[in-house]
Amino acid sequence: MARLELSSVGKAFGAVSCAADLSLAVEPGEIVAVFGPSGSGKTVLLRMIAGMFEPDEGDILVGGHSIVGAPPERLGIGMAFQNFALFPHMTARANIASGLRARGAGADVSAKVQSISHLLKIEHVLDHSPRELSNGQKQRTALARALIGNPEVLLLDDPLRNVDAKLRYEMRLELPTLLRRGSASVLYVTQDYREAMAIADRIAVLIEGRLVQVARPEEIYARPATVAVARLFGDPSINLAEVVPVAERGVLFADISGTRVRLDTADHQPMDLGACWVGVRPDDLVISQVASGDAIPARVVAVTPMHEKAVLLLRFTDGTEWLAALPPSATVADDDVFVRFAPEASLLFDRATGVRIGLPHRRQAA
Amino acid sequence: MEHSSLAGRVFRGVALALVLVFFMFPIVWIFLMSFQSNEQILRIPPRILFEPTLFNYQALISGQLRTTAGNLEISFMRNLMNSFVLSSAAVLLALLLGVPAAYAFARFKFRLGETIAFTLLSFRFAPPLLVLLPLSLYYQQLGLNDTYFGIVWVYQLIALPLILWIVRGYFEDISPDIEHAYRLAGHSWREAFTRIAVPLAGPGIAAAGLLSFIFCWNNFVFALILASADKQPVTVGALAFVTASGIQYGQIAAAIVLSVTPTLLLALYAQRYLVEGLSLGAVKG
């Protein structure tokens, strides 16, 4: 099995840059999720690897050999498309077998089709044509087609986008095992941070054609490289406030809506930092009815019950609005409450560059 | 629909009948005329009831037309055959050239691509008579005058743009991802073209082929100028019915029935392919 490596890949369509200086390596057996908002260049990246576009700069290597310019049929890449891209005039069986037949797999084609469709639970629809399949079955057929030849590199372009929520949950559980079976290098594009966190070993965050952070899911959540990354991970998304932190006797303080709160200094020296954003996840807020020195007074503007949690919209006295996600409680709209958070729960970002303070590596100019 | 009143249903029936009569009447009238003699046709007032005769068809098929002014040779069957050969060959050639070209125009952006495509379409704008005079001079020089190949070639002016532009639209409707997926599965672009693109554009290709067949079949002026009697299609051949002893309405009607039948049958047969959906559920939804 072979390592997939992108080395300083760049691509522009006219004046629009879709990828700039992308470097990323995917080890055999590893699943890397490429995550980013729509229009960030995820699909272009995948299509460059699949040989549909050629990069303007840089190189793409599989097992140490450049694949740039090679015709798609020679790549040995399996790909699942967001729109499934099944061959509409062939049965599901012929769709799945198409790759094997072309590569001369010979007699065991039907055995292989049988075993992969057993794995994906689509044996009963193998003789149906794509238009007779549900979206979930189409998607499984497309996955089977991508997986069957045990390709060295697997590319999945947001395969769960067009399937319903229930199936998406099921597939999130099944996919990691399925994808790891052939120990291929897997690149998984998604717009859903939960999907990326559930499926991938590492997540590559792509924003406006640049890789902003490549790290393990829990690290990206806990230590996002920039404020943009912090905003993308988490629902409801992270609360931000403009602050100018001040260091006093080895402790960093910031003024949020007139209340002095202590900030985290775990991975940087407490010092005066200039204009910053402070970020706190809605899950980390603690709401109390009792005032205390470090609690920010707020008014509950609205309460939205969501599953096992309630989301509270809080307005501080200076007008800043934050969200808190809490187990449902007696709190109702128009209550006056006091908000606290543990210093460790706070993240600091440089307001000018958006880069998180305290992460010496990967710091980059805006 | 099931809630519509009796009056509504009656009105709809009458309206449909009127439209049907309006469109079908000429065809029915011609069909009836083809079983009448010239005298029966020209009598006033015309009658719906008459004693049918196969005389017109006999004359056409035997090639002998007996008129009051004497016996006349007509080569209607040969003309019909010519129409077949010329139209089929022209459409076949246009498909061979036009389908790959349409694919290229649909899939690849290249320099002057749009200009070339539009130039090909503009052949349809030019009045045929404008190009015919210089063309006939060229044809004489090249020795293409009065050859089947020459006429088939000039029919490309009719068939090729039509096929190119219709089929191009159908190719553009096929998601390129389907072809990419096929190529990633280990097939060359040629296989992707012949096994994915062409079958999926099938209804479009059939429609374009049928339309250009009808246009070629109905063409009159190209063959009139560029072909002599033995290579002329029915459209030109019909001129023979305007004889010294008058216009042979009965034979004209029979000739029309015979020459319309093949295209009519073809259109009826192809109808279900023409309306068939294209994407066949390939893409989401």
Written as one string, the DSSP assignment of B51-95 is ----HHHHHHHHTEEEETTEEEE--HHHHHHHHHHHHHHHHHHHH
SS3 B29: helix
Sign of the C-alpha dihedral computed for residues A35, A41, A44 and A50 taken in this order: negative
pLDDT in tens, A168-183: 888 888 888 888 888 8
pLDDT in tens, B46-73: 777 788 888 888 888 887 777 666 677 7
CA distance B257 to chain A (A): 38
User: Which residue is closest to A105 within chain B, CA to CA?
Assistant: B186
> Which residues in chain A have their CB less than 8 angstroms from residue B282's CB?
84-88, 130-131
Instruction: Please state, in angstroms and rounded to a whole number, the distance separating the CA atoms of residues A63 and A339.
Output: 53
Cβ-based burial of A366 (10 A; exposed 0-12, middle 13-18, buried ≥19): exposed
> Which residues in chain A have their CB less than 8 angstroms from residue B199's CB?
89
Contact A71 B185 (CB under 8 A): no
Confidence of residue B273 (pLDDT cuts 50, 70, 90): low
ipTM: 0.81
How much is the mean pLDDT over chain A?
87
What average pLDDT does the segment B70-85 reach?
83
Residues 6+ apart with CB under 8 A from A161: A82, A191
Q: Is B190 on the interface with A (CB under 8 A)?
A: no
Element (H, E) at B100: helix B76-107
Same fold, A4-226 and A239-350: no
The letter for the amino acid at A102 is A
Name the residue facing A81 among B177, B280, B281 (closest C-beta): B177
User: Which residue is closest to A77 within chain B, CA to CA?
Assistant: B184
User: Which residue is closest to A163 within chain B, CA to CA?
Assistant: B284
Instruction: Please state, in angstroms and rounded to a whole number, the distance separating the CA atoms of residues A142 and A163.
Output: 12
Domain ranges of chain A: 4-226, 239-350
Contact B184 A79 (CB under 8 A): yes
Q: Is A130 on the interface with B (CB under 8 A)?
A: yes
Residues 146 through 205 of chain A touching chain B, CB cutoff 8 Å = 149, 162
| CATH class of the A4-226 domain in this structure | alpha beta
Contact B188 A73 (CB under 8 A): yes
Could you list the pLDDT tens digit for every one of the 366 residues in chain A?
Answer: 789 999 989 988 888 888 888 999 999 999 999 999 888 888 889 999 998 888 999 999 998 899 998 888 888 889 998 888 999 989 999 999 888 877 766 668 888 888 888 888 888 999 999 999 988 899 889 999 998 888 889 999 988 888 888 888 888 888 888 888 888 899 999 999 999 999 999 999 999 889 999 999 999 998 899 999 999 998 889 999 999 988 888 788 889 988 999 887 766 666 767 889 999 999 999 988 888 888 999 999 998 887 788 889 999 999 899 999 888 776 777 788 999 998 888 888 888 888 888 744 433 333
Q: Which domains does chain B have, with CATH numbers?
A: 6-73 (no CATH), 76-275 (1.10.3720.10)
Contact A72 B184 (CB under 8 A): yes
If you count them, how many residues does chain A have? 366
> Which residues in chain B have their CB less than 8 angstroms from residue A51's CB?
184
Q: What is the pLDDT of residue B89?
A: 96
CA distance A102 to chain B (A): 6
Provide the whole-model pTM: 0.78
A11-17: Cβ within 8 A, 24+ apart: A11/A41, A11/A44, A11/A48, A11/A53, A11/A55, A11/A56, A11/A57, A12/A56, A17/A209
> Which residues in chain B have their CB less than 8 angstroms from residue A89's CB?
199-200, 280
Name the residue facing A85 among B177, B187, B199 (closest C-beta): B177
> Which residues in chain A have their CB less than 8 angstroms from residue B194's CB?
none
Q: Which of 1.10.10.10, 3.90.1150.10, 2.40.50.140, 2.60.120.10 is the CATH number of A239-350?
A: 2.40.50.140
Question: Number of CB pairs < 8 Å for A and B?
Answer: 84
